[in-house]
A and B are shown apart, each in its own frame.
Chain A
């Protein structure tokens, strides 16, 4: 994209990383770990603000006359993404990160809407990659607000989310990775693909220490 002049906030980082998950999956651990990696700034949740911006683009795409076409929609998408980076992710402009991102747990359950949301991000955030963070649904169902609901329903709901994540990765294997909480809790080496995706060095000793510290907050 040659829009650095027009979309300066969007184009300052080299790449974007988005953690896609659901509540209490341990995804906060990933947020902490990534913020400890060199050159990475990983923001927290934003109340699905980006979701509404993505919806606006898809609504525009559905009514845009052919005459306005492809470039009009591209400029709109970049402008929306640039607005989001400037006002929600708010990296320090004097020390921009190489990799910028956020973690979000509010994603559409509808498969079409879910794909549209991620496709918008992949289309308009340079170098966007996703980390689909999962955890054994039966374990999640016993935690926090999930434990107040019917366990079978919670498990079914979380399995449906996992299926959405898997289906997206199956169709777009180059757009991200699946990261499973139970894997890296057992073996920090399972985090290596996360660091590779972020372009950050993987120092096993340091990662193990950071992981232990981060896990204290969620276990």
Chain B
């Protein structure tokens, strides 16, 4: 079984990772894009479910031990639980229900504003999203810090300094995400996307799947 919920041949999604300091209006100019927003908390909860099943101590320990549990044990059935399968099911569910491209959609896309994920939360959530399609692409929206801080501050009613710190933290995830997903992860230094010399990003953004 492929580790991806959707193999090639289906419209491949774009996952934009940004924050409240991003001016997302340039996304409206991208051809054929069907963009959904505001699903961050849902995806974070799906990712948390995977984490619970994978990491909860007694479950992980009993799975590793591989011994059958009995009805007299508090975690009866733990060794039969299947975190990998749950992850695959939820990745599939992201494609079918979260991105949920209407028929005829050329390029489904999801915009995440990170909701102040820690690095680990960001890594886990993006991993689950990227497992939803073999050709999904992650696009990290990285605006210039100064205007982004002002916009973030205005939207969140935070001080500019606090906004700046939050943005710095969230944009610091770009490097490790790029490392993790390699060529499937692109960084969009905003503004000026399609005019940039980055041919890979331009091709990804302008493609109609």
Contact = CB atoms under 8 A, between A and B. Distances in A.
A52 B75 contact: no
Contacts of A90: 77, 80-82
Given A56-B49, A63-B42, A72-B100, A45 B82 contact: no
Interface stretch (B84-92, B103-111, B156-164): B84-92
B59 A47 contact: yes
A82 B85 CA distance: 12
A89 interface: yes
Given A44-B77, A55-B45, A59-B41, A88 B53 contact: yes
Interface in B64-89: 69, 71-78, 80-83, 85-86, 89
B48 A28 contact: no
The secondary structure that dominates the A interface is helix
A125 to B, nearest CB: 16
Interface stretch (A35-43, A153-161, A193-201): A35-43
Given A56-B45, A87-B85, A47 B52 contact: yes
A32 B71 CA distance: 5
B179 interface: no
B26 interface: no
Interface string A45-67: 11111111101100110110000
Contacts of B52: 46-49, 51-52
Given A60-B42, A72-B100, A87-B83, A47 B71 contact: no
B56 interface: yes
B39 interface: yes
Nearest to B89: A83
Interface residues of B, number: 38
A60 B43 CA distance: 9
B46 interface: yes
B93 A80 contact: yes
B71 A36 contact: yes
Interface in A53-108: 53, 55-56, 59-60, 62-63, 68, 72, 75-76, 79-80, 82-84, 86-90, 102-103
A87 B82 contact: yes
Contacts of A44: 69, 73-78
B81 A53 contact: no
A69 to B, nearest CB: 12
Contacts of B176: none
B72 A217 contact: yes
Interface of B: 38-39, 41-46, 48-49, 51-53, 56, 58-59, 69, 71-78, 80-83, 85-86, 89-90, 93, 96-98, 100
13 contacts: A35-B76, A46-B52, A46-B53, A46-B56, A46-B59, A47-B59, A48-B52, A49-B56, A52-B46, A60-B98, A72-B100, A82-B89, A87-B86
